[in-house]
Amino acid sequence: MSVMMHSVDEVTEMGCCGCFGFSFARKPKKEIRPNRGYGNSWSHEPLLQQEAEEVEDDGFDSGDIIDTGSEDDEVCHSPVKRYQEILMERAQNGLICREIPVKETHKVVRTEDEDGNKMVNEYVREHKIGAGSYGKVVLYRSCTDGKHYAIKAFHKSHLSKMRVAPSETAMGDVLREVSIMKMLCHPNIVNLVEVIDDPETDNFYMVLEYVEGKWVCEDSGPPCVLEENKARLYLRDIVSGLMYLHSHNIIHGDIKPDNLLVTAAGKVKIGDFSVSQVFEDDNDKLRRSPGTPVFTAPECCVGDRYHGKCADTWAVGVTLYCMILGKYPFLGETLQDTYDKIVNNPIILPDDMNPLLKNLLEGLLCKDPTQRLTLESVCQHEWFLGDEGPIPQFSCWCQRQKLQKDVQDGSAEDTPT
């Protein structure tokens, strides 16, 4: 099977991600919606070279920018405008998955240790491990518990001036990311440990658990093809984490290898919730698609309203394709050409591919979202099950609390007055 080769410049012109060892992008020719993922630990180049002088220690890098919607900023169901209300209502009803809340600190002390290493409060800076659209990701070590943490650092004034839509700023995106992560607790989700926001300074920090492993496409050797059994194990973790999000009416919005961390024990954790959305109920319709172009679902490319969960599932299919074949399923010479291929071109799979795997990929990459495999169907697929069988059922804290409350309410209703 012939393979169309593209140079780094050609790929970066289309805003493609860096999951195959590069993470570069050019300054966009027009202002469009940014893809806000941060680079991986083995691709330290900034996603966009800034003309302005970089802020010393924990500055900013702008990311790839795309827009698959129209010029207006219509969002069906208005998840961006209502996320505070939705999350507040969940918190009031005890529907938060964390038994231990995220630590909130409102004082920033920037010092140095005895070796001259920069410090933020109790955390000693070691080295940069990634760069994203809104800030850097830096490895720190806590003087309190001795553990390592990945800290995303931002400057509030910069983000407050950065428009990502007519009525939205980048700071709003970061605050939404924090709000969503505050309610999450799952073994396949990167954990938010602390938020440092000093009203007297311009600094804002997200302290995240440090995943000491790698990224799902790292160290597999060019062209980044993973052995089938390893890809299956990774996929099981991805689906488990994504099903957890969807069960809480959260759309990730940017599933791709760059946002999937592998621990030293080989477990995958989903990270980067900077474009995620939360919904009040199962009505997950969206208007705009802020994710990465080559992982964009067909229904998102044509500018119509689409279901976020279906789009996330398509991105899982593209990710599996990348892990197995080491390339993107649909990639054109230009951004528009890429979208045209996503919408119109058939999926091409090797003749000698495992028939079960081929069937799964065809189901995940079905262009009709109403016929596309659901994550629940994926969990029952023979290739997915492999020798491991069904994935373990995860009972989160808020679901257990809700069940207990429903039982109590039911008992109260059944009690004669």
Cβ atoms of 46 and 22 within 8 Å: the answer is no
Name the β-bridge partners of 127. Answer: 139
C-alpha–C-alpha distance, residues 25 and 15, integer Å: 6
Query: In what helix (H) or strand (E) does residue 330 lie, and over which residues does it extend?
Result: none
- Residues annotated as part of the active site: 254
Q: Three-state DSSP class for 165?
A: strand
C-alpha–C-alpha distance, residues 273 and 255, integer Å: 10
Query: In what helix (H) or strand (E) does residue 313 lie, and over which residues does it extend?
Result: helix 308-325
Residue 152 marked as a ligand binder? yes
Beta-sheet strand order (sheet of 214-215): 214-215, 260-262, 268-270
Name residue 294's amino acid: V
Spell out the SS3 assignment of the chain: CCCCCCCHHHHHHCCCCCCCCCCCCCCCCCCCCECCCCCCCCCCCCCCCCCCCCCCCCCCCCCCECCCCCCCCCCCCCHHHHHHHHHHHHHHCCCCCCCCCCEEECCCCEEECCCCCEEECCEEEEEEEEECCCCEEEEEEECCCCCEEEEEEEEHHHHHHCEEECCEEHHHHHHHHHHHHCCCCCCCECCEEEEEECCCCCEEEEEEECCCCEECCCCCCCCCCCCHHHHHHHHHHHHHHHHHHHHCCEECCCCCHHHEEECCCCCEEECCCCCCEECCCCCCEECCCCCCHHHCCHHHHCCCCEEHHHHHHHHHHHHHHHHHHCCCCCCCCCHHHHHHHHHHCCCCCCCCCCHHHHHHHHHHCCCCCCCCCCHHHHHCCHHHHCCCCCCCCCCCHHHHHHHHHHHHHHHHHHCCC
Q: Which residues are annotated binding-site positions?
A: 152
Q: Which residues are annotated binding-site positions for ATP?
A: 152
